[in-house]
Amino acid sequence: MNSDPSSINRRDFLAKTVAGVSAGIVLGAPSILRANGEGGSDQIRVALVGMGKQGRVLFEAMSNIPGIHFQAVCDIWDYNLKGGMAKVRALQGHTPKGYIDIDEMLATEKGLDAVIVSTPDFWHSPHTVKCLEAGLHVYCEKMMSNTIDGARAMVRAMEKSGKLCQIGHQRRSNPRYRYVLEELIKGQKICGQIVNINAQWNRAVSSSQDIAYNPKLTIKQDILTKYGYQSMQQFMNWRTYRSLSGGPISDLGAHQIDIFGWFLGAAPKSVYASGGNDFFKNREHFDNVMAIFEYDTPQGGVRAFYQVLTTTSAGGGYYESFMGTEGNIRISEQSAYTSIYREDSAPSWDSLVERGYLKRKPAPPKPEPAPGVIASYASAAAEGFELPGELSKQPHQCHLENFFLAVRGKAKLTCDARHAFESEAPIYWVNPSALSKLPIQFTPEQLSV
Protein backbone atom coordinates (compact mmCIF):
# COMPACT_ATOMS: atom_id res chain seq x y z
CA MET A 1 0.00 0.00 0.00
CA ASN A 2 1.24 3.51 -0.83
CA SER A 3 2.60 5.22 2.28
CA ASP A 4 2.47 8.68 0.70
CA PRO A 5 -0.21 10.80 2.43
CA SER A 6 -0.55 12.84 -0.76
CA SER A 7 -2.67 9.91 -1.94
CA ILE A 8 -5.75 9.86 0.29
CA ASN A 9 -8.94 7.94 -0.43
CA ARG A 10 -12.16 7.27 1.46
CA ARG A 11 -10.67 4.27 3.26
CA ASP A 12 -7.61 6.22 4.41
CA PHE A 13 -9.77 9.18 5.44
CA LEU A 14 -12.04 7.03 7.56
CA ALA A 15 -9.08 5.28 9.15
CA LYS A 16 -7.61 8.65 10.17
CA THR A 17 -10.75 9.87 11.91
CA VAL A 18 -12.37 9.33 15.26
CA ALA A 19 -15.64 8.33 13.63
CA GLY A 20 -13.78 5.82 11.49
CA VAL A 21 -11.88 4.04 14.24
CA SER A 22 -13.96 0.89 13.99
CA ALA A 23 -13.81 1.11 10.21
CA GLY A 24 -10.04 1.45 10.48
CA ILE A 25 -9.85 -1.91 12.23
CA VAL A 26 -11.62 -3.53 9.30
CA LEU A 27 -10.01 -1.56 6.52
CA GLY A 28 -6.46 -1.45 7.83
CA ALA A 29 -4.45 1.10 9.78
CA PRO A 30 -3.38 4.30 8.01
CA SER A 31 -0.27 3.64 5.93
CA ILE A 32 1.34 6.88 7.14
CA LEU A 33 1.46 5.53 10.69
CA ARG A 34 3.01 2.23 9.60
CA ALA A 35 5.72 4.12 7.76
CA ASN A 36 6.50 6.18 10.83
CA GLY A 37 6.65 3.03 12.92
CA GLU A 38 9.06 1.37 10.51
CA GLY A 39 11.38 4.34 10.72
CA GLY A 40 11.05 4.84 14.44
CA SER A 41 14.41 3.28 15.25
CA ASP A 42 16.18 5.43 12.65
CA GLN A 43 16.18 8.75 14.49
CA ILE A 44 16.04 12.05 12.64
CA ARG A 45 18.16 14.61 14.47
CA VAL A 46 16.36 17.95 14.55
CA ALA A 47 17.14 21.54 15.55
CA LEU A 48 14.34 23.90 16.59
CA VAL A 49 14.88 27.48 15.41
CA GLY A 50 12.34 29.83 16.96
CA MET A 51 10.46 28.69 20.07
CA GLY A 52 7.79 31.35 20.32
CA LYS A 53 4.08 30.61 20.13
CA GLN A 54 4.18 28.92 16.71
CA GLY A 55 7.36 27.04 17.54
CA ARG A 56 5.64 25.59 20.59
CA VAL A 57 2.61 24.60 18.49
CA LEU A 58 4.86 22.69 16.08
CA PHE A 59 6.76 21.09 18.95
CA GLU A 60 3.55 19.78 20.48
CA ALA A 61 2.54 18.31 17.11
CA MET A 62 5.94 16.67 16.70
CA SER A 63 5.84 15.18 20.19
CA ASN A 64 3.42 12.57 18.85
CA ILE A 65 5.69 11.53 15.97
CA PRO A 66 8.17 8.73 16.73
CA GLY A 67 11.77 8.66 15.58
CA ILE A 68 12.70 12.32 16.21
CA HIS A 69 15.63 13.41 18.39
CA PHE A 70 15.61 17.10 19.30
CA GLN A 71 19.29 17.94 19.37
CA ALA A 72 19.40 21.76 19.55
CA VAL A 73 17.23 24.80 20.24
CA CYS A 74 17.86 28.32 18.94
CA ASP A 75 16.09 31.53 19.96
CA ILE A 76 17.31 35.08 20.67
CA TRP A 77 14.98 35.45 23.69
CA ASP A 78 16.31 33.66 26.75
CA TYR A 79 12.73 33.10 27.93
CA ASN A 80 11.86 31.14 24.77
CA LEU A 81 15.23 29.40 24.62
CA LYS A 82 15.08 28.02 28.15
CA GLY A 83 11.41 27.17 27.75
CA GLY A 84 12.11 25.21 24.57
CA MET A 85 15.02 23.33 26.14
CA ALA A 86 12.82 22.45 29.12
CA LYS A 87 10.11 21.08 26.81
CA VAL A 88 12.63 18.82 25.08
CA ARG A 89 13.98 17.65 28.42
CA ALA A 90 10.49 16.84 29.69
CA LEU A 91 9.63 14.92 26.52
CA GLN A 92 12.86 13.08 25.78
CA GLY A 93 14.83 13.09 29.01
CA HIS A 94 17.89 14.95 27.74
CA THR A 95 18.85 18.62 27.59
CA PRO A 96 19.50 19.90 24.05
CA LYS A 97 22.20 22.45 23.37
CA GLY A 98 20.86 26.02 23.34
CA TYR A 99 21.92 28.84 21.02
CA ILE A 100 21.05 32.48 20.49
CA ASP A 101 22.65 32.70 17.05
CA ILE A 102 21.80 30.30 14.21
CA ASP A 103 25.23 30.70 12.60
CA GLU A 104 26.87 29.47 15.79
CA MET A 105 24.43 26.56 15.93
CA LEU A 106 25.13 25.49 12.36
CA ALA A 107 28.89 25.78 12.87
CA THR A 108 28.85 23.84 16.14
CA GLU A 109 26.23 21.11 15.88
CA LYS A 110 27.27 17.88 14.19
CA GLY A 111 25.05 15.24 12.71
CA LEU A 112 21.89 17.31 12.28
CA ASP A 113 19.43 16.09 9.65
CA ALA A 114 16.68 18.71 9.69
CA VAL A 115 15.69 22.10 11.05
CA ILE A 116 12.25 23.41 12.01
CA VAL A 117 12.13 27.17 11.31
CA SER A 118 9.38 29.08 13.11
CA THR A 119 10.97 32.49 13.52
CA PRO A 120 9.19 35.73 12.46
CA ASP A 121 8.46 36.05 8.74
CA PHE A 122 11.35 38.37 7.89
CA TRP A 123 13.81 35.77 9.19
CA HIS A 124 12.26 32.80 7.36
CA SER A 125 14.22 33.23 4.17
CA PRO A 126 17.67 33.95 5.70
CA HIS A 127 17.33 31.08 8.18
CA THR A 128 15.99 28.60 5.65
CA VAL A 129 18.62 29.44 3.05
CA LYS A 130 21.42 29.07 5.63
CA CYS A 131 20.14 25.66 6.69
CA LEU A 132 19.67 24.38 3.14
CA GLU A 133 23.16 25.55 2.22
CA ALA A 134 24.46 23.70 5.30
CA GLY A 135 23.02 20.48 3.83
CA LEU A 136 19.97 20.22 6.10
CA HIS A 137 16.33 19.54 5.29
CA VAL A 138 14.00 22.35 6.38
CA TYR A 139 10.41 22.65 7.54
CA CYS A 140 9.60 26.38 7.52
CA GLU A 141 6.43 28.07 8.63
CA LYS A 142 4.47 30.20 6.17
CA MET A 143 4.67 32.89 4.87
CA MET A 144 7.88 31.91 3.19
CA SER A 145 9.14 35.46 3.66
CA ASN A 146 7.94 39.00 4.23
CA THR A 147 9.06 39.77 0.65
CA ILE A 148 8.54 37.96 -2.63
CA ASP A 149 12.28 38.08 -3.35
CA GLY A 150 12.96 36.37 -0.05
CA ALA A 151 10.55 33.61 -1.05
CA ARG A 152 12.28 33.27 -4.42
CA ALA A 153 15.62 32.83 -2.66
CA MET A 154 14.20 29.91 -0.68
CA VAL A 155 13.07 28.11 -3.84
CA ARG A 156 16.44 28.58 -5.47
CA ALA A 157 18.29 27.40 -2.37
CA MET A 158 16.13 24.27 -2.14
CA GLU A 159 16.68 23.35 -5.76
CA LYS A 160 20.40 24.13 -5.72
CA SER A 161 21.05 22.18 -2.51
CA GLY A 162 18.88 19.19 -3.43
CA LYS A 163 17.52 19.19 0.12
CA LEU A 164 13.86 19.11 1.14
CA CYS A 165 12.03 22.29 2.09
CA GLN A 166 8.47 21.94 3.31
CA ILE A 167 6.44 25.14 3.86
CA GLY A 168 3.88 25.13 6.67
CA HIS A 169 0.63 25.28 4.69
CA GLN A 170 -0.57 22.39 6.81
CA ARG A 171 -3.94 22.00 5.12
CA ARG A 172 -2.08 20.43 2.18
CA SER A 173 -1.54 17.32 4.32
CA ASN A 174 -4.84 17.42 6.19
CA PRO A 175 -6.91 14.28 5.38
CA ARG A 176 -10.13 16.32 5.46
CA TYR A 177 -8.89 18.70 2.77
CA ARG A 178 -7.28 16.01 0.66
CA TYR A 179 -10.41 13.88 0.85
CA VAL A 180 -12.69 16.76 -0.17
CA LEU A 181 -10.48 17.69 -3.12
CA GLU A 182 -9.60 14.24 -4.45
CA GLU A 183 -12.72 12.22 -3.64
CA LEU A 184 -15.59 14.71 -3.60
CA ILE A 185 -14.64 17.60 -5.91
CA LYS A 186 -12.50 15.73 -8.45
CA GLY A 187 -13.74 12.17 -8.02
CA GLN A 188 -17.50 12.58 -7.51
CA LYS A 189 -17.67 16.14 -8.94
CA ILE A 190 -20.31 17.04 -6.38
CA CYS A 191 -19.86 20.80 -6.83
CA GLY A 192 -20.49 20.64 -10.56
CA GLN A 193 -18.85 23.72 -12.07
CA ILE A 194 -17.22 25.82 -9.36
CA VAL A 195 -18.03 29.46 -10.13
CA ASN A 196 -17.33 31.27 -6.84
CA ILE A 197 -15.21 30.89 -3.71
CA ASN A 198 -15.73 32.70 -0.42
CA ALA A 199 -13.29 32.46 2.47
CA GLN A 200 -12.68 34.34 5.67
CA TRP A 201 -10.80 34.51 8.94
CA ASN A 202 -12.49 36.80 11.46
CA ARG A 203 -10.64 37.48 14.69
CA ALA A 204 -12.03 39.34 17.69
CA VAL A 205 -10.57 42.58 19.02
CA SER A 206 -9.69 40.77 22.25
CA SER A 207 -7.49 38.35 20.27
CA SER A 208 -5.90 41.11 18.18
CA GLN A 209 -4.46 43.31 20.92
CA ASP A 210 -0.74 43.96 21.19
CA ILE A 211 1.07 41.15 23.00
CA ALA A 212 2.26 42.24 26.43
CA TYR A 213 5.40 41.03 28.19
CA ASN A 214 7.04 41.11 31.59
CA PRO A 215 9.54 44.03 31.62
CA LYS A 216 11.88 41.87 33.70
CA LEU A 217 12.27 39.60 30.65
CA THR A 218 13.25 42.38 28.23
CA ILE A 219 15.93 41.43 25.71
CA LYS A 220 19.03 43.64 25.78
CA GLN A 221 18.86 46.37 23.16
CA ASP A 222 22.10 45.36 21.43
CA ILE A 223 20.66 41.88 20.79
CA LEU A 224 17.35 43.32 19.57
CA THR A 225 19.18 45.66 17.21
CA LYS A 226 21.43 42.89 15.89
CA TYR A 227 18.42 40.81 14.94
CA GLY A 228 16.37 43.57 13.33
CA TYR A 229 14.11 44.92 16.09
CA GLN A 230 13.87 48.52 17.23
CA SER A 231 12.36 47.63 20.59
CA MET A 232 10.92 44.85 22.72
CA GLN A 233 7.45 46.03 21.75
CA GLN A 234 8.31 45.52 18.08
CA PHE A 235 9.83 42.12 18.85
CA MET A 236 6.62 40.98 20.53
CA ASN A 237 4.32 42.46 17.87
CA TRP A 238 6.32 42.08 14.66
CA ARG A 239 3.22 41.04 12.70
CA THR A 240 1.93 44.63 12.77
CA TYR A 241 5.02 46.14 11.06
CA ARG A 242 5.40 46.36 7.28
CA SER A 243 9.15 45.82 7.31
CA LEU A 244 8.79 42.56 9.26
CA SER A 245 5.63 40.90 7.92
CA GLY A 246 2.76 41.08 5.45
CA GLY A 247 0.16 41.73 8.14
CA PRO A 248 -3.15 39.88 8.54
CA ILE A 249 -3.43 38.93 4.85
CA SER A 250 -0.25 36.85 5.16
CA ASP A 251 -0.47 35.94 8.84
CA LEU A 252 -3.98 34.49 8.54
CA GLY A 253 -5.06 34.80 4.91
CA ALA A 254 -2.14 32.90 3.39
CA HIS A 255 -3.37 29.62 4.87
CA GLN A 256 -6.68 29.96 3.07
CA ILE A 257 -5.74 31.70 -0.15
CA ASP A 258 -3.37 28.76 -0.60
CA ILE A 259 -6.44 26.53 -0.88
CA PHE A 260 -7.88 28.54 -3.79
CA GLY A 261 -5.14 27.73 -6.26
CA TRP A 262 -4.61 24.22 -4.92
CA PHE A 263 -8.25 23.20 -5.35
CA LEU A 264 -8.67 25.00 -8.69
CA GLY A 265 -5.32 23.88 -10.09
CA ALA A 266 -4.75 27.40 -11.41
CA ALA A 267 -3.04 30.69 -10.58
CA PRO A 268 -5.13 33.87 -10.42
CA LYS A 269 -4.96 36.36 -13.27
CA SER A 270 -5.70 39.40 -11.10
CA VAL A 271 -6.39 40.74 -7.61
CA TYR A 272 -8.34 43.76 -6.42
CA ALA A 273 -8.11 44.54 -2.71
CA SER A 274 -9.30 47.04 -0.14
CA GLY A 275 -8.09 47.56 3.40
CA GLY A 276 -8.08 50.04 6.23
CA ASN A 277 -6.97 50.94 9.73
CA ASP A 278 -10.51 51.39 10.95
CA PHE A 279 -9.93 50.42 14.59
CA PHE A 280 -6.21 49.88 15.23
CA LYS A 281 -5.38 53.29 13.79
CA ASN A 282 -1.76 53.46 14.93
CA ARG A 283 -0.67 50.20 13.30
CA GLU A 284 1.28 50.10 10.07
CA HIS A 285 -0.68 47.18 8.64
CA PHE A 286 -4.40 47.26 7.84
CA ASP A 287 -6.63 45.82 10.55
CA ASN A 288 -8.99 44.45 7.88
CA VAL A 289 -8.49 43.45 4.26
CA MET A 290 -10.87 42.23 1.57
CA ALA A 291 -9.66 40.89 -1.77
CA ILE A 292 -11.11 39.46 -4.98
CA PHE A 293 -9.00 37.08 -7.05
CA GLU A 294 -10.04 36.13 -10.60
CA TYR A 295 -9.13 32.77 -12.09
CA ASP A 296 -9.43 31.14 -15.50
CA THR A 297 -9.94 27.36 -15.24
CA PRO A 298 -10.76 24.67 -17.82
CA GLN A 299 -14.36 24.76 -16.53
CA GLY A 300 -14.64 28.54 -16.79
CA GLY A 301 -14.02 31.69 -14.82
CA VAL A 302 -13.96 31.72 -11.02
CA ARG A 303 -14.05 34.68 -8.65
CA ALA A 304 -12.69 34.13 -5.15
CA PHE A 305 -13.47 36.60 -2.38
CA TYR A 306 -11.39 36.65 0.78
CA GLN A 307 -11.69 38.73 3.95
CA VAL A 308 -9.57 38.89 7.06
CA LEU A 309 -10.85 40.91 10.01
CA THR A 310 -9.13 41.64 13.32
CA THR A 311 -12.04 43.56 14.83
CA THR A 312 -14.81 40.97 15.04
CA SER A 313 -15.15 37.21 15.37
CA ALA A 314 -18.72 37.16 14.04
CA GLY A 315 -19.73 35.40 10.87
CA GLY A 316 -18.80 31.79 11.33
CA GLY A 317 -15.12 31.75 12.23
CA TYR A 318 -12.67 30.70 9.51
CA TYR A 319 -13.39 28.55 6.47
CA GLU A 320 -13.20 28.26 2.67
CA SER A 321 -16.42 27.79 0.70
CA PHE A 322 -16.38 26.36 -2.84
CA MET A 323 -19.69 27.15 -4.52
CA GLY A 324 -20.72 25.29 -7.64
CA THR A 325 -23.70 24.72 -9.85
CA GLU A 326 -24.57 21.45 -8.08
CA GLY A 327 -23.14 21.77 -4.60
CA ASN A 328 -21.38 23.93 -2.05
CA ILE A 329 -18.55 22.66 0.17
CA ARG A 330 -17.57 24.80 3.13
CA ILE A 331 -14.41 23.36 4.67
CA SER A 332 -12.31 24.27 7.69
CA GLU A 333 -9.75 22.76 10.04
CA GLN A 334 -12.59 23.01 12.57
CA SER A 335 -15.27 20.43 11.88
CA ALA A 336 -17.91 22.78 13.35
CA TYR A 337 -17.35 25.14 10.42
CA THR A 338 -17.44 22.36 7.80
CA SER A 339 -20.64 21.65 5.87
CA ILE A 340 -21.80 20.48 2.44
CA TYR A 341 -25.00 21.38 0.62
CA ARG A 342 -26.60 19.98 -2.53
CA GLU A 343 -28.38 22.31 -4.93
CA ASP A 344 -32.02 21.30 -5.39
CA SER A 345 -31.48 20.96 -9.14
CA ALA A 346 -28.51 18.58 -8.76
CA PRO A 347 -28.80 14.77 -9.05
CA SER A 348 -29.45 12.88 -5.81
CA TRP A 349 -26.50 12.13 -3.52
CA ASP A 350 -28.22 9.12 -1.94
CA SER A 351 -25.65 6.72 -3.40
CA LEU A 352 -22.80 8.77 -1.90
CA VAL A 353 -24.43 8.43 1.53
CA GLU A 354 -24.98 4.69 1.04
CA ARG A 355 -21.31 4.20 0.03
CA GLY A 356 -20.04 6.23 3.00
CA TYR A 357 -18.72 9.25 1.12
CA LEU A 358 -21.08 11.60 2.98
CA LYS A 359 -23.34 11.74 6.05
CA ARG A 360 -26.76 13.31 5.75
CA LYS A 361 -27.77 16.23 7.98
CA PRO A 362 -31.40 16.80 8.99
CA ALA A 363 -33.09 18.90 6.34
CA PRO A 364 -34.12 22.40 7.49
CA PRO A 365 -37.72 23.47 6.87
CA LYS A 366 -38.37 25.15 3.55
CA PRO A 367 -38.89 28.90 4.02
CA GLU A 368 -42.26 30.39 3.22
CA PRO A 369 -42.13 33.34 0.79
CA ALA A 370 -42.75 36.71 2.41
CA PRO A 371 -46.07 38.39 1.60
CA GLY A 372 -45.97 39.86 -1.87
CA VAL A 373 -42.93 37.79 -2.98
CA ILE A 374 -43.47 35.52 -5.96
CA ALA A 375 -42.87 31.93 -4.80
CA SER A 376 -40.60 31.05 -7.73
CA TYR A 377 -38.15 33.76 -6.62
CA ALA A 378 -37.47 32.02 -3.29
CA SER A 379 -34.73 29.35 -3.34
CA ALA A 380 -35.54 26.00 -1.80
CA ALA A 381 -33.66 25.04 1.35
CA ALA A 382 -30.49 23.21 0.36
CA GLU A 383 -30.02 19.58 1.43
CA GLY A 384 -27.22 19.37 3.99
CA PHE A 385 -24.45 16.78 4.40
CA GLU A 386 -21.35 16.21 6.52
CA LEU A 387 -18.03 14.47 6.05
CA PRO A 388 -17.99 10.88 7.35
CA GLY A 389 -15.31 11.30 10.04
CA GLU A 390 -13.33 13.59 12.33
CA LEU A 391 -9.57 14.22 12.23
CA SER A 392 -8.03 12.73 15.37
CA LYS A 393 -4.67 14.53 15.17
CA GLN A 394 -3.43 18.04 15.86
CA PRO A 395 -3.77 20.23 12.73
CA HIS A 396 -0.03 20.47 12.06
CA GLN A 397 0.83 16.84 12.81
CA CYS A 398 -0.04 15.36 9.42
CA HIS A 399 2.05 17.98 7.61
CA LEU A 400 5.03 17.32 9.86
CA GLU A 401 4.56 13.57 9.43
CA ASN A 402 4.70 14.08 5.68
CA PHE A 403 7.94 16.04 6.06
CA PHE A 404 9.66 13.39 8.17
CA LEU A 405 8.43 10.60 5.88
CA ALA A 406 9.96 12.50 2.97
CA VAL A 407 13.24 12.88 4.89
CA ARG A 408 13.22 9.09 5.21
CA GLY A 409 12.53 8.75 1.49
CA LYS A 410 9.05 7.27 2.01
CA ALA A 411 6.89 10.13 0.69
CA LYS A 412 6.85 13.22 -1.47
CA LEU A 413 6.39 16.59 0.16
CA THR A 414 2.84 17.88 -0.06
CA CYS A 415 3.99 21.54 -0.09
CA ASP A 416 7.59 22.05 -1.13
CA ALA A 417 9.01 25.55 -1.51
CA ARG A 418 8.29 25.84 -5.25
CA HIS A 419 4.64 24.82 -4.93
CA ALA A 420 4.29 27.06 -1.88
CA PHE A 421 5.75 29.97 -3.85
CA GLU A 422 3.19 29.46 -6.63
CA SER A 423 0.50 29.72 -3.96
CA GLU A 424 2.00 32.65 -2.06
CA ALA A 425 3.16 34.85 -4.95
CA PRO A 426 -0.31 36.40 -5.54
CA ILE A 427 -0.63 37.18 -1.82
CA TYR A 428 2.36 39.52 -1.94
CA TRP A 429 0.33 41.79 -4.26
CA VAL A 430 -2.76 42.13 -2.04
CA ASN A 431 -1.42 44.93 0.16
CA PRO A 432 -0.04 46.90 -2.85
CA SER A 433 -3.48 46.70 -4.48
CA ALA A 434 -5.19 47.87 -1.29
CA LEU A 435 -2.69 50.71 -0.81
CA SER A 436 -3.05 51.92 -4.39
CA LYS A 437 -6.80 51.22 -4.51
CA LEU A 438 -6.23 49.70 -7.95
CA PRO A 439 -6.61 46.19 -9.38
CA ILE A 440 -3.43 44.36 -10.36
CA GLN A 441 -3.37 42.24 -13.52
CA PHE A 442 -0.65 39.67 -12.95
CA THR A 443 2.24 39.26 -15.35
CA PRO A 444 4.28 36.03 -15.54
CA GLU A 445 7.21 37.88 -13.97
CA GLN A 446 5.17 38.83 -10.90
CA LEU A 447 4.27 35.20 -10.17
CA SER A 448 7.48 33.43 -11.14
CA VAL A 449 10.70 32.54 -9.33
pLDDT surpasses 90 at 21 = no
**Structural domain of residue 101, as residue ranges?**
10-171+396-416
Q: Which residues of 395-418 are buried (b: 16+ CB within 10 A; e: fewer)?
A: bbbbbbbbbbbbbbebbebbbbbb
Q: Which DSSP symbol is given to 240?
A: G
Same domain for 57 and 204? no
Q: In whole angstroms, give the CA distance from residue 57 to residue 63.
A: 10
Same domain for 265 and 224? yes
* pLDDT at position 83: 98
CATH code of 140's domain: 3.40.50.720
Same domain for 153 and 16? yes
Q: What is the CA radius of gyration of the chain?
A: 23
On whether residue 3 sits in a domain, the answer given is no
Average pLDDT of the chain, as a whole number: 90
* Domains held by the chain: number: 2
* pLDDT at position 378: 54
> 110: closest CA among 44, 170, 156, 45?
45
Same domain for 167 and 180? no
pLDDT digits (tens, 9 = 90+) for 157-186: 999 999 999 999 999 999 999 999 999 999
* pLDDT at position 5: 44
Same domain for 151 and 197? no
Same domain for 401 and 284? no
Same domain for 324 and 410? no
On whether residue 4 sits in a domain, the answer given is no
This prediction's pTM: 0.90
* pLDDT at position 91: 98
CATH code of 347's domain: 3.30.360.10
* Percent of the chain whose predicted confidence (pLDDT) is above 90: 83
pLDDT surpasses 60 at 331 = yes
Same domain for 111 and 152? yes
pLDDT digits (tens, 9 = 90+) for 417-426: 999 999 999 9
* pLDDT at position 16: 58
Q: 338 CB contacts (<8 Å, ≥6 apart)?
A: 176, 319, 330, 331, 332, 386, 387
pLDDT surpasses 50 at 2 = no
Same domain for 219 and 349? yes
Phi-psi category of 162—alpha, beta or left, where left has phi over 0 and alpha has psi -120 to 50? left
